[in-house]
Amino acid sequence: MKAAVVEKIRDARVLEVEDPKTLPGSMKIRVEACAVCGSDLRIFTKGDPRATFPRIIGHEIAGTIVELGEGTTGYAVGDRVCVAPGHGCGECKYCKNDMGNVCVNPQPSIGYASSGGFAQYIVPPVNVVKNGFVNRIPDNLSFEEASMSELLACCINAQERAMVGEGDTVLVIGPGPAGCMHIQLARARGAKKVLLSGRTPGRLQKAAERFHPDAVFTEQGDALVERVLAETDGLGADVVIVAAPSHETQEVAIKLAAPRGRVNFFGGLPKDNCISHIEANIIHYKEVMLTGASSSLGRQNREALQLISEGKVKASDYITHRYTLDEFNEAFAAVERKDTIKAVLFPWKTRAELNG
């Protein structure tokens, strides 16, 4: 098969490689679409301690089952499915209590230490199938729309942790793909007002034009605090979602929360700059709740597909760029320049087919 293989940092080549062998308890999937995630870009440009090279990366996968492994039940050849990178072992107390995203015995994750979706075929690890991360695509969705479900599932996890609900004012910091998705998801969960903040004016403008937050802020630090307080009758936001990998942003987020507000750190920080200095008295006296969010659960991936199918989150709004597998390096350059909201690669299509 053809695959984009990352040999080392910033060195990717499209090669002919051996087809993956179908495993008992798993299946072989023809990859029809695989979206580019920010973590894919990080692996490619900086590396990741969870990723090994050479590696086929990519984990926002939609395709068709072409072969079932021995003992694999509940699926059929021809099923259209999404594959998400669940890494839970399925046996520890966290996995058994529907918290497999914080598994203490994590298994190799798709696109990190096991082969990912920037290839024509993938065989998911058995634990991914067993733990519910291979899910059927609703009939009314295209493969590219379905590929948006993995990121949405991660956003669902974060908004569950932050308890976003009816009547909330939600502030999203970071106008990237995840931040944009948080806007639509918060509205689907009943938020009455959604605010958006960012430090890149061009990207912020694009996000505002597509997703129509109730207010947009370009200010940073204390100036942002003043703007948010003015927009919320001096209270702050009920929920603050930090969808930006910045410790400065995490630090100011606490100041943006209303009394008994909830702050979610959705974006992780680089290991060499991962210390945030939080004004703890705000958490103490205002009873602010601080949460994290990492990856997603199988049920959240199914919910994501349902929300997209129902039109509550419009997947097509996010897809701005489409590439063939041979255009891997071009796609990643565009994502790194922040030209895109979401870019999708199609392993079986030619440029002429994408243009047509």
The CATH number assigned to the domain holding 240 equals: 3.40.50.720
- pLDDT bin (cut points 50, 70, 90) of residue 200 is confident
> What proportion of the chain, given as a percentage, has pLDDT over 70?
100
Residue 117 sits in the same domain as residue 138: yes
**Which of 6, 129, 137 lies closest to 64, judged by CA?**
137
- pLDDT bin (cut points 50, 70, 90) of residue 267 is confident
Residue 319 sits in the same domain as residue 223: no
- What's the pLDDT tens digit per position in 326-353? 999 999 999 999 999 999 999 999 999 9
Q: What is the pLDDT of residue 6?
A: 97
Distance in angstroms (rounded) separating the CA atoms of residues 199 and 88: 35
Is a pLDDT exceeding 80 seen at residue 283? Answer: yes
**Which of 47, 77, 52, 49 lies closest to 65, judged by CA?**
77
* SS3 assignment, position 40: helix
Q: What is the pLDDT of residue 50?
A: 85
Q: What is the pLDDT of residue 275?
A: 83
Residue 202 domain-assigned (yes or no): yes
Are the C-beta atoms of residues 279 and 255 closer than 8 Å to each other? yes
Q: What is the pLDDT of residue 19?
A: 95
Residue 158 domain-assigned (yes or no): no
Q: What is the mean pLDDT of residues 291-320?
A: 96
Q: What is the pLDDT of residue 273?
A: 79
Distance in angstroms (rounded) separating the CA atoms of residues 185 and 209: 17
Q: What is the pLDDT of residue 271?
A: 76
Residue 206 sits in the same domain as residue 312: no
Residue 309 sits in the same domain as residue 330: yes
| Block residue for tokens 């606490």 | 254
Residue 18 sits in the same domain as residue 120: yes
Range of the domain at 139: 2-152+296-355
- What's the pLDDT tens digit per position in 73-91? 999 999 999 999 999 999 9
Residue 267 sits in the same domain as residue 305: no
- pLDDT bin (cut points 50, 70, 90) of residue 58 is very high
Q: What is the pLDDT of residue 297?
A: 96
Residue 26 domain-assigned (yes or no): yes
- What's the pLDDT tens digit per position in 114-137? 999 999 999 999 999 999 999 999
User: What CATH code is carried by the domain that includes residue 318?
Assistant: 3.90.180.10
- 289-292: strand order across its sheet: 215-217, 193-197, 169-173, 237-242, 257-265, 289-292
- Which residues lie across from 62 on neighbouring strands? 33, 82
Among candidate residues 255, 270, 292, the one where a domain is terminated: 292
Of 268 and 255, the one with more pLDDT: 255
Residue 124 domain-assigned (yes or no): yes
- pLDDT bin (cut points 50, 70, 90) of residue 48 is confident
Distance in angstroms (rounded) separating the CA atoms of residues 104 and 112: 17
Residue 254 domain-assigned (yes or no): yes
Distance in angstroms (rounded) separating the CA atoms of residues 166 and 163: 10
Residue 286 sits in the same domain as residue 311: no
Is a pLDDT exceeding 90 seen at residue 143? Answer: yes
